[in-house]
Structure 1
Amino acid sequence: MSVDLQCVVKTRAVLGESVLWHPGECRIYWLDLKAPAVHIYDPATGAAESWRPELGTPMGTLVRARDGFVLSGREGVFKLDMASRRLTRWVDPNDRQEITMFNDGKVDRQGRLWLCTSDVQETEPLGGIYRLDADGHSVIQDRGSACGNGPAFSRDGRILYFADTMMRKVYAYDLDPASGRIGERREFVTFPEAEGMPDGMTVDADDHVWICQWGGAGVSRFTPAGKLDFKLELPCPLVTSCAFAGDDLDTLYVTTATVDMDQAALAQFPLAGGLFAARTGHRGLPEPVFGVG
C-alpha cells in the first residue's frame, strides 16, 4: 500500500496526545500532556499555534462538547472555551485522585464521555474506566489497569475498545448503547514486545481498529476479529494517538512523544514529538460530540 506520510507540525512535544478534528473550524487540536499545552493546526494554511493553560501535569484528554470543549486533567474535568481561553472547573469523577490520574478518553456514539485513569507511577493496576454523562453524573465501569488508554468505539457503538498499555493488551467490551453499561471484557489484541505497547486508537468507516504503538514506531490496523491488516510506519518510536480528519475524513493524523528520550535518541529521530498526517486510502468516522446523542 502506498502511503503519503508527512510531519506537518514539528512541535517536539514531550507527550503529544488526544488528537481530534474540529469539522466546524476545519482545524486539528491536540495536547502535550506534559507541557502542558493545547496545540492547534490549520491544514489549509499550515498555520500552527499553541496555548498553555494553567493546569498541573499531566493533562488527560480533550474532546468536543456541545458548547466548546471538555478537558480533563489532574484537577478534574473542565469546560473549555477556546475563543476566550477560559477554563471552568466542572466535575471530578476520579474517586482515587491521590493515586491515579486521568489519561485518554473518547466520546461514544450516544454522546457520553469515557475517561481512562492510570496509576500515577504507571506500575500498579489501580486505574479504571469512567463513564461521564452530559449532566455530570459519572459511573465507574471497570478497574485493574496501570495505564488505561484508547478508548474507541465500533461503528455501531456496541463495542468499547480499551488498551491496558502496560500489559500490552487491548480488550473489547460489549456496550449497551441505551444504558451505557458494559459487559465482561475479552482479549482483542496482544502486542509482542518488539511491537511496543498499545496507546490511543480510533475506528474507521470499515469498522477496523487503528492502534498506536508506544515503542513500536507505528499505527496498526486490525480487523474486527483482531487480525493485523496493515501497519503505518512512523520515523519515531513513541506513537500516542490518532484520528481521521478532513472534509472526507481521509487523512489520519498521528501524535508522537519525546518523553525520556536522551540526546542521542532525539538526534536519531529528529521528528519525534511532531504531528504527522498520512493518506492511507481509508476513511474514518465522524467523532461524536459530548452531550449530543
Structure 2
Amino acid sequence: MPAAEPICVVKTPAILGESVLWHPVEKKVYWLDLKGPAIHIYDPASKAADIWQLELDVPMGTLVRAREGFVLTGREGTFKVDMAARKLTPWVNPNDRPELTMFNDGKVDRQGRLWLCTSDNKEVEPIGGIYSLSADGKSEIHDRGFACGNGPGFSPDGRIFYFSDTMVRKVYAYDLDPRTGALAGQRIFTEFTEEQGMPDGMTVDAEGGIWICHWEGWRVTRFLPSGEIDREIRLPVPLVTSCAFAGEALDTLYITTATVGLDAAALARAPLAGSLFAVKTGHRGLPEPVFGQA
C-alpha cells in the first residue's frame, strides 16, 4: 500500500496536543492542549474549529467519553465535563502520589473501565503508575516504575493492554483479564531506537494493528501484533503525541502534535507543529468505549 499523505486540518500552535477522541453521536473530534490548558473541538463536516480555554493547573491528562458527557483528568484529579454548559465538576482523585506525580494519558477498556497513566512531575524518576478507575469512583493500582506513562491501548478482544514507557523508549504488552481487570505477564512489545524517537500515545485498529506516535520521531507507525513494523506515516512535525480513528466509517486517523520545547529554529523547520492532522490509512478503527458503559 502506498504511503498516505497526512493533511493539516486545524492549524494551531498547541503547546502539548494530546488525547484525540472521536464522538460518534456529535460527529466531532475532541482533543486537548495539556499545557494550554484547553479543549479543542473540530467538526470534519463543516471544517469549523472551536476551543474552550480552561482554568486548571497544567498539564492536564486525558479526556474520555462517559455515560453523561465526558471525564477529564488533571492535576487536581478527575472532573466530570458538561461540554454544552462549559462546566467542570470535580470528582475523585485516584492518584495516590499527587505531590510527586501527574496524570498523563488514558483510555477506556472494552468493559468501560478507565485506565490512567501517571508520570513523575519532572519525567525523570520511575515513580509513575498504571491505574484503573470504575464508574463508582473506585480505583486500583496495577503497576509502577515509569517516568512517563503513555498510551494506553487495547487489543480488539480486550485481552491485551499496550503501554508506552516513554522515557526508556519501550512499549509493553500485558495480559488483561476482562472480567477482573487484572494485569499480568508484562513483556516488551517493541523498543524504539534513538532515531525513532520515543513512544507516545497509541490506538489499535479493527485488525489488531497498533498505531504508535513517535515523540521526536516525525511519524506514526503501525505495528502488527507480532511487534513487526507494518507501515509508517511521516509527518512534517517532530513531536507526534496521540492518534485515534474517526469519521462515520472510522477510517480516518487523526493525529495530535506539540510545540513544547521547540526553539525558533525548530519551529521554522516545522511551522505546522502543534496542529491537528488527518490521514486516510486504508484501515478502520474500533468504536471507542464509553466510561462506565460495558
Q: What TM-score does the superposition give when structure 2 sets the normalisation length?
A: 0.99
Structure 2 regions of 5+ residues with no counterpart?
A: none
Cα shift at 1:144: 0.2
Q: Which runs of 4+ in 1 moved over 2 A?
A: none
Aligned to 2:213: 212
Aligned to 1:72: 73
2:16 equivalent to 1:20: no
- 1:231-270 deviation line (CA, Å, top 9, x unaligned): 0000000000000000000000000000010111111101
Aligned to 2:224: 223
Aligned to 2:160: 159
Q: Which amino acid aligns with 1:207?
A: G
Cα shift at 1:11: 1.2
Measured in 2, the distance between the counterparts of 1:141 and 1:2 equals 38
Aligned to 2:241: 240
Measured in 2, the distance between the counterparts of 1:142 and 1:178 equals 18
2:100 equivalent to 1:99: yes
Structure 1 regions of 5+ residues with no counterpart?
A: none
Aligned to 1:142: 143
Of stretches 31-40 and 3-12 in structure 1, the one that deviates more from structure 2 is 3-12
Q: Which amino acid aligns with 2:144?
A: R
Count of paired positions? 293
2:187 equivalent to 1:186: yes
Measured in 1, the distance between the counterparts of 2:86 and 2:145 equals 35
Measured in 2, the distance between the counterparts of 1:240 and 1:43 equals 20
> 1:1-12 maps to which residues of 2 (within 5 A)?
1-12=2-13
Q: What TM-score does the superposition give when structure 1 sets the normalisation length?
A: 0.99
> 1:117-136 maps to which residues of 2 (within 5 A)?
117-136=118-137
Q: Which amino acid aligns with 2:24?
A: P
Over the matched positions of the two proteins, sequence identity in percent amounts to 69
Q: Which amino acid aligns with 1:127?
A: G
Q: Which amino acid aligns with 1:234?
A: L
2:250 equivalent to 1:272: no
8 Å contact from structure 2 (residues 3, 232) kept in 1: no
Measured in 2, the distance between the counterparts of 1:53 and 1:269 equals 27
Measured in 1, the distance between the counterparts of 2:174 and 2:53 equals 35
Cα shift at 1:4: 3.7
Aligned to 1:43: 44
Measured in 2, the distance between the counterparts of 1:203 and 1:271 equals 26
**Matched residue of 2:167: which SS?**
helix
Aligned to 1:83: 84
Q: Which amino acid aligns with 1:152?
A: G
- 1:47-89 deviation line (CA, Å, top 9, x unaligned): 0010011110000000000000000000000000000011010
- 1:1-34 deviation line (CA, Å, top 9, x unaligned): 1414210001110000000000000000000000
Measured in 2, the distance between the counterparts of 1:11 and 1:185 equals 38
Q: CA RMSD in A?
A: 0.5
2:47 equivalent to 1:55: no
Measured in 2, the distance between the counterparts of 1:55 and 1:276 equals 26
**Matched residue of 2:54: which SS?**
coil
